[in-house]
Amino acid sequence: MALMTGEQYIESIRKIPMEIYMFGKKVENPVDDPILRPSLNSVRMTYDLAQMPEYQELMTVISPESGERINRFTHIHRSTEDLRNKVKMQRLLGQKTASCFQRCVGMDAFNAEFSTTFEIDKKYGTSYHENFKKFLRYCQDNDLTVDGAMTDTKGDRSKAPHEQADPDLFLHVVERRPDGVVVCGAKAHQTGIINSHEVIVMPTQSMGPDDRDYAISFAVPLNTKGLFMIIGRQSCDTRKREGGEMDVGNPEFGGVEALTVFDHVFVPNDRIFLNGETEFAGLLVERFAGYHRQSYGGCKVGVGDVLIGAAAVAADYNGANKASHVKDKLIEMTHLNETLYCCGIACSAEGYPTESGNYMIDLLLANVCKQNVTRFPYEIVRLAEDIAGGLMVTAPSEADLKDPKLGPVIDKYLRGVNAVSTENRLRILRLIENLSLGTAAVGYRTESMHGAGSPQAQRIMIARQGNLAHKKALAKAIAHITE
């Protein structure tokens, strides 16, 4: 079964008994929970689109490993064209879901692990690459969704992992057995983990020799004993429990994050991809982060497309669409959004092969991409709010609109252009609210800031990759300076 249908995917997740908590209670049926289901629907779209002939080329690829047609989300990039197609696929999915569709973290972890395990084995004669390739084939053949867990909770930021007052603040090995290791710790902000079959765990930062137990990477299924998740709250999340759809803004799709706890989780030897080779922890982080910073030049652009469209519709609905300042704001939003796309495509086009044969993005350009993503969506949101007007946050509820007494009053007074129903006008404003302040703002606005690393993390990489010495030499040559 190299390609699952969306329905098969949903049923496959239903069969995994996961330990999930929300609002202080265990969630007995996460698949049908109204708060959680929209995020599952977003991942489902990665399966549904792969079944459609018009998207086959973007969404699927022939696996060099198996020769079978597989979902691109389980593919190891073998060319710059693969890298560009990845970004295009993510933009498409952002357009179709207006949310985080979650499956990219696994794809980015696959590609970072592929090259890094190869290089560790070359140096130490370990068998991590073989372990990883076996896991990869399993994911490709079964069309699995895999979460990539990197961000530790980190405790006191001024201290190294082994210096923390509580050793579990970074995930680490607590026991070494002949058949594997036992780990303890937690990973924060895990996007899509409850919608995944497996999770790849990676270290969160570079490690020194004293952090040996913290330099650990592996994969385990989501129903592994000792693994449980606590769902993160989002603005307006309980609106999804009210039963209506207007007030939610995006009734079908969403994204959900969870604090994921590993309480003495056993990892068998053949699922380990790094175990104590501390000097490779930083490389794995840098590569995963690089790929995920490239990803943001696709997914956030797709969601931006929806937001720009929503702002334009809002202007149509209140008759402001001909105003020159509104047209100019839409141009500005488009300019910012396409600039992000340029970055995603550029870092892909400038990709290069690693020793293992897969393709890496240009790291400097990928970090510039993500640095821009920490800024431009905020401006796009600001302009969307400007165009939407205050009604976006003062409009009465769907229940009021449906009320026999209040409904006609709302319909009369909140109408914009006469030909458009008040309901449609409110629907588009709720979508803008959802993307800029509501549940989707987690995946669009705040995730643009902190997802794939906070802004300072990119600035460190830009400083490292920017080659200032070369630029100084250029200036001196032009100025005829000899020293």
- Active-site amino acid positions: 100, 104, 191, 257, 292, 296, 299, 447
CA distances from 6 to 13, 119, 254, 371 (A): 11, 36, 16, 34
Taking the least distance from each CB to Fe ion, the nearer of 377 and 451 is 451
Binding span for ligand SF4 by CB under 6 A among 120-128, 222-230, 295-303, 376-384: 295-303
At how many degrees (to 10) do helices 6-14 and 37-48 cross? 140
Distance CA 427, CA 434 (A): 10
Taking the least distance from each CB to Fe ion, the nearer of 106 and 451 is 451
Are 70 and 61 in contact, with CB atoms under 8 Å apart? yes
- Binding of Fe ion at residue 249 (CB under 5 A)? no
Q: Which residue has the closest beta carbon to Fe ion?
A: 451
- Give 422-429 contacts, CB < 8 A, sequence gap 24+: 423/246, 424/317, 425/314, 425/317, 425/318, 426/246, 426/395, 426/398, 426/401, 427/246, 427/249, 428/310, 428/313, 428/314, 428/317, 429/314, 429/388, 429/389, 429/391, 429/392, 429/395
- For residue 146, give every residue at least 6 positions away whose Cβ sits within 8 Å of its Cβ, in sequence order, or none: 74, 103, 105, 106, 107, 109, 110, 139, 196, 197, 198, 199, 200, 219
Q: Which does 101 bind (CB under 5 to 8 A by kind): ligand SF4, Fe ion, none?
A: ligand SF4
Q: Side chain identity at 252, as an amino acid letter?
A: E
- Binding of ligand SF4 at residue 251 (CB under 6 A)? no
Among 70, 202, 219, 299, binds ligand SF4 (CB under 6 A): 299
CA 224 to chain CA centroid, Å, is 23
- Binding of Fe ion at residue 451 (CB under 5 A)? yes
User: How many residues at the interface with ligand SF4, by CB under 6 A?
Assistant: 12
- Binding of Fe ion at residue 377 (CB under 5 A)? no
Q: Which does 104 bind (CB under 5 to 8 A by kind): Fe ion, ligand SF4, none?
A: ligand SF4
Binding span for Fe ion by CB under 5 A among 71-79, 128-136, 177-185, 446-454: 446-454
Using CB under 6 A as the binding rule, the residues of this chain from 81 to 110 that contact ligand SF4 are: 90, 100-102, 104-105
- Binding of Fe ion at residue 180 (CB under 5 A)? no
Taking the least distance from each CB to Fe ion, the nearer of 373 and 380 is 373
DSSP bridge pairs for 133: none
Instruction: In angstroms, give the least distance from the CB of 449 to ligand SF4.
Output: 12
The number of residues in the chain equals 483
- Binding of ligand SF4 at residue 294 (CB under 6 A)? no
**In the numeric block, which tokens belong to residue 2?**
């190299």
- Binding of ligand SF4 at residue 447 (CB under 6 A)? yes
Instruction: In angstroms, give the least distance from the CB of 303 to ligand SF4.
Output: 8
Taking the least distance from each CB to ligand SF4, the nearer of 100 and 194 is 100
Are 89 and 298 in contact, with CB atoms under 8 Å apart? yes
Cα four-point dihedral sign 242, 430, 420, 93: negative
Instruction: In angstroms, give the least distance from the CB of 291 to Fe ion.
Output: 11
Instruction: In angstroms, give the least distance from the CB of 90 to ligand SF4.
Output: 6
DSSP bridge pairs for 173: 183
- Binding of ligand SF4 at residue 336 (CB under 6 A)? no
Taking the least distance from each CB to Fe ion, the nearer of 161 and 438 is 438
Q: Which does 102 bind (CB under 5 to 8 A by kind): Fe ion, ligand SF4, none?
A: ligand SF4
Taking the least distance from each CB to Fe ion, the nearer of 161 and 377 is 377
Q: Which residues are near Fe ion by CB under 5 A?
A: 451
Q: Which residues are near ligand SF4 by CB under 6 A?
A: 90, 100-102, 104-105, 191, 295-296, 299, 447, 451
